[in-house]
């Protein structure tokens, strides 16, 4: 079973992302949703996700802060930045993190899902 973590302070965005992924992937999956990166960081070690979708602009702890502290020892999830920011600096910054597979603009679209899960 695929384990997918969604970290986003916008519950509507999380809802849409979950529904789109569920619609297009064929294998069973379980979603773990976090409205803040702090809680995600505390629980993620027990989840061992296959995929992680991370917003960057959040209160308390940003997605960048999360990436600085996240260091999985025994698993390597595919991490996708999913953000409404189209700032070139954010896109370039995401490329500096070896764990980040790709920077995607919100909302998640079918084309991205097919690329990620195929």
Mind listing the pLDDT tens digit for each residue in 88-116? Answer: 999 999 999 989 999 998 888 888 888 88
The pLDDT, as a whole number, for residue 115 is 85
Contact 37, 65 (CB under 8 A): yes
d(CA 38, CA 74): 21
Instruction: List strand residue ranges (DSSP E) for the chain, in order.
Output: 2-7, 29-34, 51-54, 78-83, 100-105
pTM, two decimal places: 0.93
Domains identified in the chain and CATH numbers: 23-97 (3.40.50.2300)
Q: Is 36 left (phi over 0), alpha (psi -120 to 50) or beta?
A: beta
pLDDT single digits (tens) 22-68: 988 888 999 999 999 999 999 999 999 999 999 999 998 999 999 99
pLDDT at 25: 87
């Amino acid at each position: 079973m695929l384990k997918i973590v969604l970290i986003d302070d916008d519950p509507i965005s999380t809802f849409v992302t979950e529904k789109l992924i569920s619609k297009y992937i064929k294998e069973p999956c379980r979603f773990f949703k976090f409205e803040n990166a702090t809680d995600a960081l505390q629980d993620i070690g027990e989840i061992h996700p296959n995929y992680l979708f991370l917003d960057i602009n959040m209160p308390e702890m940003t997605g960048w802060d999360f990436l600085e502290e996240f260091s999985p020892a025994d698993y390597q999830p595919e991490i996708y930045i999913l953000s409404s920011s189209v700032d070139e600096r954010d896109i370039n910054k995401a490329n500096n993190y070896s764990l980040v597979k790709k920077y995607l603009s919100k909302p998640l679209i079918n084309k991205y899902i097919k690329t990620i899960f195929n």
